[in-house]
């Protein structure tokens, strides 16, 4: 057979499903279905809350303190006679936005640190990772307390505190991925073309780390919601009178017997959000893993 006779290869291939097709295929997965329903529910509430709620968040019904559920107040009222239904719904807004923002920020910080640390290696890596270890060694709550004590309680500061506390974990994950990727031959090929470190980090390596980062971030958003609620519970979250689920549980915990809905409903809301994020992360990680 002469060389020219070798046919040009043109084979039908196993088609690669796009990421959206993959995600769409997840609808049959019960875990993801439940998780996603919960999340979609809360996002919807966060957007539509002002249209649904019957009262203002700080509207006090006089003489209506610690009322059990009734037609006028489906979840009862709190210590100041405010409608708990209204406050839970409006509270959803910050609980959807703040954890997402803080983890988003943490991913940017953590991924950059991890990329640099993993790719450079040597003493740079050693130094950065020991600092990250030191931060991770602190109990998370202590770290929050220190940061909030230093900069004061506000929505922005809560985001910063959570981002700072979350970033080291992400940097460790990304560093581990980079350590594996940088020894791949396509990185050697890029170096042989004289590519800059920036190109190698952001064009060659980063795209290959995105999937695990997304899955990890989803789990972390769940935990971040939990942390932000804990800060609210301790009175260090978003300052009153903004409706904060953690703060609401804290204020109402003594009324558990008179008005059980007052602490339970915000507590359930927190739990559902955390579970929702975790379920989706679980399902997604499976879908992304099957990609290779």
Binding site for another protein (CB under 8 A): 1-3, 6-16, 25, 184-186, 188-195, 204, 207-208, 290-292
Nearer to another protein among residue 63 and residue 194 (C-beta): 194
- Residues facing residue 82 across a β-bridge: 60
Nearer to another protein among residue 204 and residue 216 (C-beta): 204
Q: Single out the residue of 46, 27, 25, 44 nearest to residue 35, CA to CA.
A: 27
Nearer to another protein among residue 100 and residue 285 (C-beta): 285
Q: Single out the residue of 285, 128, 150 nearest to residue 217, CA to CA.
A: 285
Cβ within 8 Å of residue 100, ≥6 positions away: 221
Cα(284)–Cα(292) distance, integer angstroms = 14
Nearer to another protein among residue 101 and residue 206 (C-beta): 206
Per DSSP, the residues of 117-172 read: HHHH-HHHHHHHHHHHHHHHHS-HHHHHHHHHHHH-S-HHHHHHHHHHHHHHHHHH
Q: How many CB atoms within 10 Å of residue 75?
A: 23
> From residue 287, how far is each of 6, 25, 93, 126, 239 by CA, in Å?
39, 9, 29, 34, 40
Nearer to another protein among residue 191 and residue 253 (C-beta): 191
Nearer to another protein among residue 184 and residue 253 (C-beta): 184
DSSP 8-state symbol, 191: H
């Amino acid at each position: 057979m002469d060389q020219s006779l070798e046919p040009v290869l043109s084979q039908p291939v196993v088609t690669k499903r796009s990421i959206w097709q993959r995600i769409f295929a997840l609808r049959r997965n019960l875990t993801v279905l439940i998780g996603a329903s919960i999340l979609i529910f809360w996002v919807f509430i966060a957007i539509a809350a002002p249209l649904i709620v019957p009262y203002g968040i700080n509207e006090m019904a006089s003489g209506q303190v610690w009322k059990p559920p009734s037609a006028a107040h489906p979840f009862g009222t709190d210590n100041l006679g405010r409608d708990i239904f209204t406050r839970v719904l409006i509270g959803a807004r910050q609980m959807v936005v703040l954890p997402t923002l803080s983890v988003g920020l943490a991913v940017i910080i953590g991924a950059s640190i991890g990329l640099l640390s993993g790719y450079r290696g040597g003493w740079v890596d050693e130094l950065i990772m020991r600092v990250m270890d030191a931060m991770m060694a602190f109990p998370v709550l202590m770290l929050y307390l220190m940061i909030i004590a230093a900069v004061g309680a506000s929505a922005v500061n809560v985001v910063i505190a959570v981002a700072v506390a979350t970033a080291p974990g992400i940097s460790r994950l990304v560093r581990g991925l980079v350590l594996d990727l940088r020894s791949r031959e396509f990185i050697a090929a890029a170096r042989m073309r004289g590519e800059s470190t920036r190109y190698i980090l952001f064009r060659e390596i980063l795209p290959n780390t995105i999937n695990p980062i997304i899955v990890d971030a989803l789990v972390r958003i769940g935990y971040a919601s939990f942390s932000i609620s804990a800060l609210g519970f301790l009175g260090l979250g978003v300052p009153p009178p903004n409706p904060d689920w953690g703060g609401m549980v804290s204020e109402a915990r003594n009324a558990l017997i008179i008005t059980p809905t007052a602490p339970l409903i915000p507590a359930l809301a927190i739990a559902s959000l955390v579970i929702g994020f975790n379920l989706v992360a679980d399902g997604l990680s499976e879908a992304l893993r099957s990609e290779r």
